[in-house]
Chain A
Amino acid sequence: GENVEQHPSTLSVQEGDSAVIKCTYSDSASNYFPWYKQELGKRPQLIIDIRSNVGEKKDQRIAVTLNKTAKHFSLHITETQPEDSAVYFCAASEDSNYQLIWGAGTKLIIKP
């Protein structure tokens, strides 16, 4: 079955710098890759997702890149702000309708 690995487990960056979180997956049939942000004590919320027919997707300061050959995808946050501090989860699925296989999460800390 699918396995998703996420690195790093904790990432500390200076406010204004960029942050990159990486995930690798094992099942070549996976074609949907969402990223969720979870603030302390709250529910995870989808921030961006990408499907296998594109290599990159951007939404303001957030971007996701996908390398299907290498089976990895990354979340990029530019110009980080204090409100970006949260735990970020990647996931993979054959389709968003199916089960999502989750990474273990990355705690992002933005230092003022």
Chain B
Amino acid sequence: SQTIHQWPATLVQPVGSPLSLECTVEGTSNPNLYWYRQAAGRGLQLLFYSVGIGQISSEVPQNLSASRPQDRQFILSSKKLLLSDSGFYLCACYTSVDSEQFFGPGTRLTVL
């Protein structure tokens, strides 16, 4: 079965600083990959999804971007963080073997 790694686990960044969150998947190939954000006490907001290398679909216009340089690597970036970017960032993977969206452990980002 697949394993999703996310790092860092926690991050505190000042407003206006850049961001790079990384997600890597093991144990599968050619997965669909997803970035979600969850504000404190709220639901899941889909930010980006990717069906393959270099293929990114954006769901919410904002100051974030995503890239998929390799089949099992998904990166979330920002050039300048806003206070509203604080939240729990979750990477998810879909595989036809397990036929479910499986979540990584998440990165908790606090923007001060």
Interface of A toward B, CB cutoff 8 Å: 34, 42-46, 49, 89, 96-97, 99-100, 102-105
Asked if B7 is an interface residue, CB under 8 A from chain A, the answer is no
B94 with A44: CB separation less than 8 A: no
Q: How far is the CB of B14 from chain A (nearest CB, A)?
A: 24
**Residue among A45, A49, A97 making CB contact with B103, cutoff 8 Å:** A45
A43 with B106: CB separation less than 8 A: yes
B106 with A89: CB separation less than 8 A: no
A102 with B44: CB separation less than 8 A: yes
Given contacts A44-B44, A102-B44, contact A96 B103 (CB under 8 A): no
A46 with B100: CB separation less than 8 A: yes
Write 18 A-B pairs (CB below 8 A) sorted by A numbering. Answer: A34-B101, A42-B105, A43-B90, A43-B103, A43-B104, A43-B106, A44-B44, A49-B100, A89-B43, A89-B44, A96-B99, A96-B101, A97-B94, A99-B49, A100-B46, A100-B101, A102-B43, A102-B44
7 new A-B pairs (CB below 8 Å) besides A96-B99, A102-B44?
A: A43-B103, A44-B44, A46-B100, A97-B96, A99-B49, A100-B101, A102-B46
Q: How far is the CB of B60 from chain A (nearest CB, A)?
A: 12
Asked if B32 is an interface residue, CB under 8 A from chain A, the answer is yes
- State the CA gap A35–B44 with chains docked (Å): 13
Q: How far is the CB of A35 from chain B (nearest CB, A)?
A: 11
Q: How far is the CB of A100 from chain B (nearest CB, A)?
A: 6
Q: Please, which residue of chain B has its CB at the minimum distance from the CB of A34?
A: B100
Q: How far is the CB of A108 from chain B (nearest CB, A)?
A: 14
A102 proximity list for chain B (CB < 8 A): 43-44, 46
Q: Please, which residue of chain A has its CB at the minimum distance from the CB of B101?
A: A100
A96 with B44: CB separation less than 8 A: no
A42, A100, A102 — most chain B CB neighbours (10 Å): A100
B100 with A96: CB separation less than 8 A: yes
A43 with B105: CB separation less than 8 A: yes
